[in-house]
Every structure is written in C-alpha cells, then in structure tokens.
Chains A and B, each alone.
Chain A
Amino acid sequence: MNATVPTLGYADLRGLMDLQLGDEKHAPSATSTLDVIWVLYDRILRIDPGRVDDPDRDRFLLSKGHGPMAYYAVLAAKGFIDVAALRTFGRYDSSLGHHPDRNLVPGIEISSGSLGHGLGIAVGVALGLRARRSRARVFCLVGDAELEEGSNHEAIAYAGRFGLEGLTCVVVDNRSASLGWPGGIASRFATEGWSTSTVDGRDHDAIQRALATDHARRPHAVVALVEQRS
C-alpha cells in the first residue's frame, strides 16, 4: 500500500459495512471474509489505489462474490472507493452491487457472484504474470461451499500439477458446504501438490504468517477457519 494515502482502520470496518443496506441475508457471508480481506489489503498486497492499472501490482480476486460488504468496506478504508458510495449499495445507478463488477469499480479485479469462476481466472492471471516474468502475486478468495462447484477442481488440479507458485487461494471456511469436506479442505489442495496452511480466520497475525509462507514452485492454499454459519 502507498503509505501516503489516508486510510481508515480495522475498527472502522463494521461501521462501513453498516452503511451498505439491502443484502442482509448475506451478512454472515460478508462477515466471514472480513478479517482475511483486511489482512490482505493492510499487510500483504502490493497495490496502490492511485495505480490500479499497474501491470506489476498484486491481484486480489474475490471469487466468492456473495456478500461483498466486507470487501467494499476494506476498499473504502484503503482509498479505492469513496466511503459515500457505500450508501448507494445495490441501487440502480450504484457502482456497488450485491456482486462486484470490475468494470464499474477501478481496483476490483474481477466481476464475481456466480460461484466457481474466480479460481480459474486466477490461474490464467498467474500464468500471464509468470509469462511476463512479473513478480506480482495473485490471491483468490473462495468459500468452502463454493468449492462444491466442480470448476474449482479443474483449477486446483492444474495449478498444483504445474507448480504455479504465484497463486495463493484463500478458503474462508465457515462450514457451509452441504456435504462437508471429509479429510479436510487442505487435503484436497495438498493432494494436487499445493502447499497448505490452516489458520484461525480471525487471527490477523496468523493469517499474515500463512499468506507470507514460502511456497517455492508450488501454489499455496490458506484455509481460514471462522465461525460456523448458523
């Protein structure tokens, strides 16, 4: 992050989320991702709201587009979008819908909402950055229930087998997958050759350590455990 950009802090995020009304049914989904997204933007990503087209910026792809209130709150806190825009959430002319659109908000990397799309795109972005010899990294956030979409497993298999080290997948696990994941989510990634970490999804230092883990010649999966969805 560019230190000169005035920003709000973690303590402000709940208030920023409360400005976004109309998608309360996805509030638990939004809340589940809050800490992971905050740590990414506050401590990990090499990005600058003043240079959202920098070809060598790190990329964050929110694949789980449901409940983007936390994402928008973090983007507002970090200077990517105006705080005032949060009050327009979901309105006809708003740039902030109940699912994000990259073409409406500079700094949002992908349009998402339908589950199972982001990780495949993230593989392509990581392959492209690797082909350009860029040091930029790609972080993709999915949900544990989102992993039920088979398209994710095409991406997991390919990225693992081809050692796509520029890619990190963060799985926010609130145990909402209908059939669960016998053997654990991390094992699904590990089987395909990924490096894996499992952390408390509310522990910022633990999340940071997991995201910063060395994973040379392998993609990395971080399973962030949060409260089970009620």
Chain B
Amino acid sequence: MQTTRRTVITTAAATAGLGLVGRVRAQQKQIVIGEQCDRTGPTQLVGNILCPAVMHYKDLINKNGGVGGYQIVINESDNQYQVPPAIEEFEREKAQGAVSILLYGTPQTEALSPRLNADHIPGTCPGFGPASAANGAHNPYVFPVAATYWSQAAASIQFVKDQLGGSLHSKKIAFVMYDNPAGHEPLPVFDRLKKMEGYDFKIYAVPPPGIEMGAQALDIAERYRPDFVIMHIFGRAPSVALKALRGVGFPLSKCLGFVWASAEADIEAAGGWGVAQGYHTMQFAGVGTDYPVHQQIEAMFKAEGRQPPAVMNNSVYYNRGLLGIALHIEAIRLAVAANGGKPPTGAEVQQGFQSIKDFSLGGLVPPLQLTPSDHEGGGWVQIYQVKGNAMVKQTPWFRGYRDMVEKMIATSA
C-alpha cells in the first residue's frame, strides 16, 4: 500500500509538472485564433464534424504561406456545451494572445458577449446565438456572420409562402421548437408575419433534449393537419422528429428544418435517405463536396500521403466549419493589409470583419456583406431538398422580409 501510494503521488506530481511546463510556443510570426468546440457534449454530432474543418482549412492556409506572412495557430478547446469551461477557456485563449474566437453554443455566446466587448476580441457565432447580436452598434465584438434565427424564421415563411402558391392567408403552419430561449427566439418574427400574412400558427414546444416526440407528431398528423411544418430543433431531436412524422404518415415534403436540423448526419440518424425523402432543409453554407476549397484540402492530404478524412463527406456541417474559419482568416487578412503588415490586434480584426464583402469561396459562402451596423451579413439562406440519396439545391441564396428583420435588429437591446 505504501509503494502504491507513493507511485500514485509521484505520477500525479509528474503529470501536474508536465501541465505546468505546457507547450513550447515558437516566437516567429504567428497569429493565434481561439476555437471552442463541443466534442463530448450534447451537440458532439455537430462538433466532431465542424471543428476538424477549421483545422484543415488552417493547415491549407498555412501551407500556402499563411496570412500576410503570418502562420495561423488555432487552439481548440472542448467546452462540452457548458458555460464555466467556456469562460475558463476564453480566459486561457486571451492569455495566449488570441485575436479572435470561434464561439460555440448559444448560452456560451451569451455568457461571453460582455467579455468580448470588454476585452476587444471579436467572436463569431454562425447560425446560433442571440439574434440581437446582429446589431453591431450594441454588440461591437459579436459577429453572427450567418443568418440568425430571426432571419431564418423570416426566410422560412417566405419559402413556405412560395411553396403554397404565393399566399398564406388562412393556411396552417405548425412550429416545432425547443422549450428554451433558443427555441423561443424566432417567435416574435412569426407573430409579426402572422399579422402581415394571415396564417394560423401553432407552437409545439418540445422539452430538451427532445428525444421523444410521438405526441407532437400525432397531434400534427391527426388533429392539426397543417399545410407546413417548420422545425427549429437541433442535436438528436431532428432525427427523432423525422422518424416520428414519417411514422404517423405525415409527408416530409411539407416539412422545413432550420439550419441545425438539416444535415446528412440527422438524416442518417433518422434511418437513412429513404426515410427523409422530400424533406426541405435550410442551409447557411454550401452543401456538397464539389467546391474548389474541398479539392484543395483533398490535394493537401494526398500530398502528405494520407487519405482525406471521411468527415469531409458530412458536407453540411463540414462546410459550415470552413465558412467560419474562412471568414476569420479573411478578416485577419484585411486587418493585416490595413495596418501595414504588423501583427493585428483584436480591435483591428474587428474592423477587418466589418469590412468583409464579396467573399464567396466558390459559392460556399453566401453573398455576405458585414458592416458596422449589420454583423449578420444580410441573413442569406438557401433551401436544399432530400431527393434520392443526396440533397438537391432547391433555391438560390435568398432572404425573407429583410426590411422587417432589420427594423427588429435595430430596435433590439
């Protein structure tokens, strides 16, 4: 017992010592970006695909000379979709000199927004986070850089209107959502549009994590019988919803999923492409693997003698990872160009973000235009539909009721 205790103590001390030594950081020209991810928490389905994309794009950029001569270093940390690890990691990334942060998770974005604004480090939250973050005047250092839930809601009503023949008057729309703040977020948009367009709207609030939806599916299919179902759920819930609706015989061609209910992974989890035929999915990045950046990343792997990893085929989440990091690198490139080649500060990268336009990465990125007042870039989405064994592009990049959404953003807190 004595020797075992001694061994345990010495091993523990050695590990602690290793941790204190840390990694040797090279002092050559480097720019540090912080990345938070969820690898082991409730959204690990997304994190395990999205976060490798960030690293692959970073390797590609570094191989081609970096940004303005600087090599990009990304420190990824796992926040398990909880807030205290997110705060602790943010402090650590700040201590390591990060000039921008890729945030992960709506509660984490809410908790870190005051710190980002106070410490002058820009953070991006594409496709999640509070919609009011699009207001650049109130949140100078928080960048949604992709359609927020308000824009997604407005675009969904626009799409449903087009699908139902141009008018929503006295049509019935069912809205399946999580019973938490992220789920409640699009409701003001739906209320205003209801007054404008005159449709009937029923809310199905699912308590998270949403792994049991039999009752809601039955009510939708048998009692309410809507003309369209809009789903604002994520994690494991979309696959559960698809299975449940298909099980009660409700046609999935009358279903539209918001951006986080719309991946190949969700369709596979629901039972495969055969189950989800006709399902409409909303995307804020391109879908599919025939973009130039994919070919470049594959070439990079082949040049190292390695097979391109299979995660690249989960193109919905993979492309969203590429979009996020590509915008960071574009902002840093603009910042370095603007300050004459010196290492950029967080405030300069923020200015870089605010001047991003005409950056499409071969069509993967929508026609964003970030400005000091619009940190969302315009709220562009596109709809893909499940046909056969793939997702087929159904609409070009579009947005719905932009004037109304912009007014809401401008008056939000």
Are A and B physically bound partners?
no
Residues on B close to A: CB < 8 A? Answer: none
Residues on A close to B: CB < 8 A? Answer: none
